Amino acid sequence: MNETIVSYLGETLGLNFNWLGTLVIFLIASLILASFLALIGGLGTYAERKISADIQMRYGPNRVGPYGILQFLADGVKMLLKEDCIPRESDKFIFKLAPILCFAGVLASLAVLPLSSGFILSDLNVGIFYLLGVTSVVGVGIFLGGYSSNSKWAMLGGMRGASQIISYEVPVTLTILSVVMIAGGLSLNTLVGGQGAYPNGWYLFHNPFSFIGFFIYFIGSLAETNRAPFDLPEAESELVSGYHTEFSGMRFAFFALSEYIEVFVLCAIAAALFLGGYNVPFRLGGDGLLGQLFQLVVFFAKSFLLYYVVIWVRWTLPRMRVDHLMVLCWKYLTPIALFNLVGTAIWMYCFNGRSMYMILKHFLMASGQ
């Protein structure tokens, strides 16, 4: 287990970095990760359009580049060239700050993303807890964006966004807590390392409670990222475009991009917590560079699968009503999450932390004799 990317590189290459080397490596690694995730965010917009087109039997973007894959670059250039409008009666300071807060919160969460056992920027001891903390900055950004626009639509969208994000943090946090209880640690390498490479070793199938917990986490993270069927903050049929109604050009692009990256981050965390993370089957993963590559491929495959499901859900299900949203969170998800928490604790106590598969194997072997 490596604490940071720097310690991994130091071990693999046999070097010892001083503080300047550490700083430079951190900066380069952060730059690579941020650019790569921005690319994923950009491709996310393309994937969204293409998949939605597929679901609705249309073609989708097909003009720019082969299969229209460069559409997101064209969009980016268009966004950069747009006029930067700031409403006259808006709160200018906060209006300029809100997209940056959103983006900063999402980028800060990349620090603990366990892409592979070596490529994790910093494996904090409190990794998953830190992640919960910094993603809540996004909620502040959305709220301030809605407030500063001085528009009723944006105001309502921002209020909905803030209340929704705060509410859904409760079941998500409780579910993560039950997973933490199984793994016995908050650091993401501990959480991923406690799982096996095959589905029988995943926390998804560890016990019945974590199986339910996965779906609670997934629904909660859909709501936290304002994705359909919970995209009430930007409900275009009621509030023109929600909290980013008044934002134009690159400021709007920051909101959109941070949303797509956050969806990816939460899918990646779901893959890391429940679906075995970067554990590669057939013992192909390892500390060597090739092993790391396999780990990266497996991790991204799992995350993109969940990403696809998120987009699929968006174009299949209709939007919920505001009061139904809150009812779902407080009357269904939160009690189920609490039940899961207690149930996991009882399971860990009764079966000494063994998974369903291990108990079944033990039982079958005992009955075979």
Partner 1 sequence: MFLVIIFSLSAFLAVAGALSVTFSKNLIHACVYLLFSLVGVAGLYLTLGAEFVAATQLVVYVGGVVVLLLFAIMLTGGTNLHHVTSRFGLESTPLMGNLRTYLMGVVTAVLLVVVLCNVLQGSMTGALVSENKFSSTVEQIGVKLLTDHILAFEISSVLLLGALVGAAIIARPHRSSESEN
Number of Cα atoms under 13 Å in the Cβ half of residue 359: 13
Q: Please pick, from the candidates 132, 240, 338, 356, the single residue that binds partner 1 as defined by CB under 8 A.
A: 132
Q: Please pick, from the candidates 150, 200, 241, 248, the single residue that binds partner 1 as defined by CB under 8 A.
A: 150
Interface pattern 79-108 for partner 1 (x via CB under 8 A)? ----------x-x-xx--x-----------
**Integer Cα distance of 171 and 93 in angstroms:** 34
CB of 10 to partner 1, least distance (A): 14
Report helix, strand or coil for 214: helix
**Integer Cα distance of 271 and 281 in angstroms:** 15
Asked whether the CA dihedral 185, 193, 119, 312 is positive or negative, the reply is negative
3-state secondary structure 110-170: HHHCCCCCCCCCECCCCHHHHHHHHHHHHHHHHHHHHHHCCCHHHHHHHHHHHHHHHHHHH
What residues between 164 and 223 interact with partner 1 by CB under 8 A? 166, 169, 185-186
Stretch that binds partner 1, among 141-149, 203-211, 265-273, 277-285 (CB under 8 A): 141-149
CB of 63 to partner 1, least distance (A): 42
| DSSP summary character for residue 319 | P
Q: Please pick, from the candidates 12, 22, 62, 248, the single residue that binds partner 1 as defined by CB under 8 A.
A: 22
Residue 25 within binding range of partner 1, rule CB under 8 A: no
**Integer Cα distance of 149 and 139 in angstroms:** 16
CB of 159 to partner 1, least distance (A): 8
Stretch that binds partner 1, among 66-74, 133-141, 268-276, 311-319 (CB under 8 A): 133-141
**Integer Cα distance of 364 and 157 in angstroms:** 55
- Under the rule (CB under 8 A), what is the footprint of partner 1? 19-20, 22-23, 89, 91, 93-94, 97, 124-126, 129-130, 132-134, 136-137, 139-140, 143-144, 147, 150, 155, 159, 162, 166, 169, 185-186
